[in-house]
Amino acid sequence: MAFFRKLFRGNEGEADQTTPAEGASPENAPAAAPPSGNQPTDANPQAPAEAQGATVPDAAVWWDSSAASTDDAPPPSQSSAVEPSSETPTAPVSVLAVEQARQRLSSVAAQVAAATGPEPVSLSTEPIDATHQLEADQAPALSARQSAQGLAAMAARDIGRVREINQDSVFAMLTTLPREGSDLSVGLFIVADGMGGHQGGEVASRLAIRTVVHQVLSELVLPALDDNMSAALQPLMVSAVQAANQAIWDTAQAMGSDMGTTCTAALLVGHGLYIAHVGDSRAYLYEPGGLRQITSDHSTVGRLIQLGQLEPSEAREHPLRNQLYRTVGQQPQVMVDFIYQPLGMSSHLLLCSDGLWGMVEDPALAQALIRSPWPQDSCNELIALANLSGGEDNISAVVVSLPMAER
């Protein structure tokens, strides 16, 4: 049966998100396997000297609902299923396999909605050297349990150096759905950056994650296997964020709070991304031509840039740079951007809050993505760079390595 695993981190309200749990060790650390394909690399990668010895970020919890061991699993297939279309309909799969997949995802959705699951697993008790690349015999156990399609993902967040509460939440999950001949790779990745006093933002971002995950996973199987996949998945993603908006709005009214959150949710199905987006958290793809932002910032400064009235280089110091005109949960209804993006030759997906992209320039983001084949190392380096630049806000990153060789 198809491999299944997922990551989830909400905000537990820890006093210091940068301190790993006692007793954790690198041997127990979840890490991703190197991606397939020929993405740009640096033959002698060198991270900024200041990034070495940076604090290990608070990383996502790893839950594993798969079989006890997949160390002897076959290597990733080099062939890929053809995307369904009217000319090439999806080959039939058994009703039992589809029902098992539906029950599996529904179980995950229920756990996330109820905020249940295993205790957090820290990545490491040692500082991460951002220039370090693990040798094959040093790879943590998880690398032997990558998805059959070669995908690898990691999510991490950090409180930064100024804030007292971490109001960011992140989620990352990889699984497969049954299709005749070749399972369909699926991933769900979310970043939510909460706002609102008295821990309101913390509540809002957690509620956004729980609601979107529950809505999407509960209804994903049939739309993902539909011959007209894009038409089926767009309303699923948009309605999930709208449901999160309603849940946060209702909670805020009951609490007398002005809480809200950004929400950037990316669903990977096969060779396409289906993104629902509100706010100024961002989604990027790294392509042969470099890093490309694929979402628009719903901020005053972002709008001025779109209108050509402000240069991107001026945005970082603009007095209205943190003013959002669209958020999740601060109005009874919300307009949700939907973006469909074929993966093409993209080698990495990055979702992040403004605590990362607001502190680190795009070229440095790109270098951190391609410097290491391990998403865990990329997350650590990205967060270290943001903290070295001041760490003025909470910092969140979800990094996904995409297997180009299979497209």
Q: What is the pLDDT of residues 336-384, one digit of tens each?
A: 999 999 999 999 999 999 999 999 999 999 999 999 878 999 999 999 9
Q: How far apart are CA 351 and CA 374, in angstroms?
A: 16
Residue 389 lies in a domain: yes
pLDDT at residue 197 in the model: 77
Q: Strand pairing of 260-261 and 184-195?
A: antiparallel
CB distance 352 to 393 below 8 Å: no
The tally of domains found in the chain comes to 1
Residue 255 lies in a domain: yes
Residue 268 lies in a domain: yes
333, burial (CB in 10 Å: exposed 0-12, middle 13-18, buried 19+) = exposed
Residue 143 lies in a domain: no
**Which CATH number goes with the domain that contains 238?**
3.60.40.10
Residue 326 lies in a domain: yes
CB distance 37 to 403 below 8 Å: yes
Alpha helices in 161-285 (DSSP H): 200-219, 221-224, 229-255
Residue 294 lies in a domain: yes
181, burial (CB in 10 Å: exposed 0-12, middle 13-18, buried 19+) = exposed
What is the 3-state composition of the chain as percent helix, strand, coil, each rounded to the nearest 5?
A: 30, 20, 45
Per-residue pLDDT, averaged over 195-209, amounts to 91
CB distance 389 to 147 below 8 Å: no
pTM to 2 decimal places = 0.72
Please say if the pLDDT value at position 73 is more than 80: no
Give me the domain span that covers residue 262.
4-14+48-64+105-122+161-406
Q: How far apart are CA 133 and CA 125, in angstroms?
A: 17
Between 306 and 313, name the one with better pLDDT: 306
> CA 23 → CA 7, 124, 140, 259, 317, distances in Å?
20, 9, 16, 36, 42
- Tell me the residue length of the chain: 407
Residue 73 lies in a domain: no
Give the 3-state secondary structure of 378-403. HHHHHHHHHHHCCCCCCEEEEEEECC
